Amino acid sequence: MQDYQSEFIGFLLETGALTFGDFTTKSGRKTPFFLNTGLYRTGSQLERLGEFYAAAIQARLGMNFDVIFGPAYKGIPIVVTTAQALSRHAHDVAFCFDRKELKDHGEGGTLVGHKLKDGDRVLIVEDVTTAGTSIRETVPKLKAAAKVELAGLIVSVDRQEKGQGERAALTELADEFDMTTFPIVNLDQILTYLKAHQGEENVPELSEDLWARIENYRAKYGAE
Read off the amino acid at residue 222: G
- Catalytic, out of 103, 117, 147, 195: 103
114 tagged catalytic = no
Torsion angle of alpha carbons 120, 121, 126, 128, nearest 10°?
A: 150
pLDDT digits (tens, 9 = 90+) for 92-111: 999 999 987 655 544 546 89
pLDDT digits (tens, 9 = 90+) for 114-150: 999 999 999 999 998 877 888 999 999 999 999 999 9
pLDDT score, position 133: 80
Half-sphere exposure of 68 (CA within 13 A, CB side): 29
Do you know the residue count of the chain? Answer: 224
Domain containing 103 — which CATH number? 3.40.50.2020
pLDDT score, position 196: 94
HEC profile for 129-190? ECCCHHHHHHHHHHHHHCCCEEEEEEEEEECCEECCCCCEHHHHHHHHHCCEEEEEEEHHHH
pTM value? Answer: 0.92
- C-alpha–C-alpha distance, residues 128 and 10, integer Å: 17
Calculate Rg over the CA atoms of the chain. Answer: 18
pLDDT digits (tens, 9 = 90+) for 28-55: 889 999 988 888 999 999 999 999 999 9
95 DSSP β-pair partners: 68
pLDDT score, position 104: 53
Read off the amino acid at residue 62: G
pLDDT score, position 105: 46
Considering its fold, how many domains does the chain have in total?
1
pLDDT band at 209 (very low <50, low <70, confident <90, very high): very high
103 tagged catalytic = yes
Domain carrying residue 13: 3-221
pLDDT at 113 over 80: yes
